[in-house]
Amino acid sequence: MNTKSDAPSSSKEFDKVYSSAFLHWLWGDTRIPKELQDLVANNHPKTSLELGCGLGRFSSFMAEQGIKATGIDFSGVAIEKARKRIEDSLQKPSLLVGDVTNLAMLKEPFDVAFDIGCFHCLNEVDQQKYEQEVYRLLKPGATLLIWALNHAPIGIKLNPDYMARVFSASFHLKKSAFSRRRIIGSHWYWLVRKD
């Protein structure tokens, strides 16, 4: 289910996936990636922003570490399910319905941001809007961690050179690492916000 025609890409399509008793397991995550754990250990953030949080598991992990965590997703169904899942938790992230290309509702500068599977769903125009919004919302020197498929569902080939170009105005690509996460060729990207 990794081709352009199979993959959900709109809010409506993701609402359908998250409404399904089965489909959301194909696109969801239950394990906390080591890269995200390292982001916490290496940066000691007080605040975090998750872009494309889905069911909120990663933002919940951040909140459990004592971090003031915010998660954004454009699927209202995913956010509703995420809020229900955490209603009895002591440490809760703030989970909001929103578009990662227009985050006007957020003002706070964040210590770190992360995106585990959202960026590769964006077209080139939306990638630029995303880059501008994340730049606006991160503190100077803050890290943006992205996991993205090498072949985006919408047909764009993503690689370190491409990512460095997209983010060149506002971020340095500090490093990248090939991954077989979900058994599909992909990369982790560590981008650092310029001053």
CA-CA-CA-CA dihedral for 49, 51, 55, 61, to nearest 10: -30
Domain residue limits, the chain: 32-193
Report pLDDT for 145: 98
Least Cα distance to 118 among 156, 148, 150, 162 occurs for 148
Report pLDDT for 27: 52
| CATH number 3.40.50.150 given to 32-193 | yes
Report pLDDT for 28: 55
Report pLDDT for 29: 61
- Strands 110-116, 94-97: pairing is unpaired
Q: pTM of the entire structure? A: 0.87
Report pLDDT for 130: 98
- Element housing 38 (H / E): helix 34-43
- What is the full per-residue pLDDT of the chain (195 aa) written as tens digits? 333 435 555 556 555 565 555 544 455 566 899 999 999 999 999 999 999 999 999 999 999 999 999 999 999 998 999 999 899 889 999 999 999 999 999 998 999 999 999 999 999 999 999 999 999 999 999 999 999 999 988 889 999 999 999 999 999 999 999 998 767 899 999 999 999
